[in-house]
Amino acid sequence: MSEQFFWTSASELGRAFARGTLSPVELVEQILQRAERLQPHLNFLVLIDRDGALAAARAAEMRWRKREPLSPIDGVPTSIKDTTTVKGWPTRLGSHATDETAAVEDAPVVARLRAAGMAIIGKSTTPEFGWKALTDSPLQGITRSPWNLGHTPGGSSGGASSMTAAGVGPFNHGNDGGGSIRIPAAHTGLVGLKLSYGRIPQHPADSPFADVVSQGVLARSVLDSALALNATAGPDPRDWRSLPADPRDYTIGLDDGVRGWRIGLSLDLGHVTADPEVRALVETAARRFEALGAHVEEVGPLIEPLQHAFEPLWIGSFAVRLRQIPSQLHAKLDPGFRAAAEKGLAITLADYARAFEAKSKLARDLALWHETYDLLLAPVTPTAAPPVETLYNSEAFPRWTKGAPYTLPFNLTGQPAASMPAGLTPAGLPVGLQIIGPPRADHRVLRAMRAYESASGWTWPQRGLAPAID
C-alpha cells in the first residue's frame, strides 16, 4: 500500500474501496502498524483494539465487494477520545481516580460511527477529566505534537489531533467543552468543527460540563467533517437536549461559496491579547474571504473578559468532580486540576446562578449580533502551541488569557465554531483561524470552511512535520 494513503481523506478512501483499488483490511492493518510505530514518540493512544478494528475492516470489505456499503466511510479507521464510553472498554479519563471497569454500552457518537461501518482502532489520550487545553495526564503521561515533539498538540482532544496530523486515520473523534476540538486543531494544522450544542447527542451526560460540550471530529478536510456529521447527527431520547432530527446532507452545498456575505473580524474580541505573529497570520487568513466575494470588516469589542462571570461555572464544576473522588486519591490528581477544584469548593449557589445568568445574556447578545453578520472571524488561540512542560492555568499560562479566551465564549452560547489552518509561525508551528456562525447554522460554517479551504492551499502531508513522522 502506498504511504500516500496515510494522508488520503476519508471520502477518497471510500471511493478507492468502491473501485477495488484499496482494501479496507490492508488500510486498517497499515494504520495500526503506523500507530504502533509512532506511539512511543507521540503517546496518542490509551489502548489499541487490533482484533476489533480488523474484524470491522473485514466486514466492510465484504460489503464493498457486494456494493452494499453502510456509508461512504464504511471501513475507514478512526479512534474515540477517552472521555467517551465504548462498550467493553474502560473510560479512564487520564486519571488514577478511575478504574478498568468496562462500559456497558457505546455513547451515541460511537454507536453511530460503528453503524457507518468505521473501524475503531482504539481510544485516544486526554488530560485528566479533559480539564485543560494541553494533553498530559497523571495516568497516561505527555502527548506530543507531530510538528515538534517538544510542543503540545493542544487539548483536551490532543490524542486525536496528534494522530490525525501524523497520518493515523483521516479523522478522529474529539469533543469540545471550552475549545477542546478547535484548540488542538489550531495547534496541529487541522480542520476542527465544534458543532451546535445538541447536534450530536450525549449519553451518559453525567459530566458537570454536559451543558457546554459538543461531540465531533478532528479532520484534515472539510468534506470529511461533513461526512462525519452526516453519520453522527440526530436526536437520541436519552439526551433531552439533543436537537430535533434534520434530514440535511451536510455535503450538499459545501461549494456554494460566501459571495455577498457580511463577515465581522475581531482579533481581540474586545479583551484578548494575541501574539503579534498570531494576529498577523489570522488577519491575512481572514482577508482571503474578500477574494472569495465576501465583505470583511473589523468590528468593535464584542465580549467582556470572561473570568469574573464564568469562573464559578468552571471551578465549581471541578469541585463537583473532586467531591466524587475518595480523599486518599487526591494526591494522585493533576496538581493544576486539584488546585482549581479546591478553589471551587468555595463557590456558592448564588455564584453559580449569576454565572448562568451571564451565560444566557452572552448567548442572546451574540445571537442578536448575527442578525447583522453572517459570520465572525477570530483567532483560535492567543499563541501557537506551547511547550509540553507548560503548567496550564499557572501565572505564566492562565486559562482566561492564554488558554481558551477565544474559544470558550462559543461553548457558553452553544453556537457552531471551527478552526481552519491560518499558516505557520516563524518557528514552524501552526496557527488557527476561528470561523463562528449563528446559532444552529452548522451548514453555514461548513460552507465557509470549504470556501476558505479552497483558497488556502493547505495540503497534507505538511513538510514541517517532525522527522519522527516520516
Q: Give the residue numbers marked as catalytic.
A: 81, 156, 180
Q: Which residue has the cell 482549581?
A: 340
307-323 helix and 335-344 helix, angle to the nearest 10 degrees: 100
Distance of CA 207 to the CA centre of its chain: 17
- Give the distance, in angstroms, between the CA of residue 377 and the centroid of all CA atoms in the same chain: 18
At 240 the three-state DSSP class reads: coil
Can you tell me the distance from the alpha carbon of 30 to that of 22, in angstroms, rounded to the nearest whole number? 12
* DSSP notation for 296-335: EEE-------SHHHHHHHHHHHHHHHHHTS-GGGGGGS-H
Q: Residue 282 class from Cβ within 10 Å (0-12 exposed, 13-18 middle, 19+ buried)?
A: buried
Contact 450, 19 (CB under 8 A): no
Would you say the C-alpha torsion 237, 242, 248, 250 has a positive or negative sign? negative
Cell numbers for 276: 503579534
Nine-digit cell at 387?
511547550
Dist CA 339 CA 335 (whole Å): 6
- CB 73, CB 16: distance < 8 Å: no
Cis peptide bond prior to 419, omega within 30° of 0? no
Beta bridge partners of 45: 124
DSSP 167-224: TSSSEEEEEESSSTTHHHHHHHT-EEEEPPTTSS--SS--STTTTT-EEEEEESSHHH
| 3-state SS, residue 450 | helix
Residue 83 is placed in which grid cell? 472521555
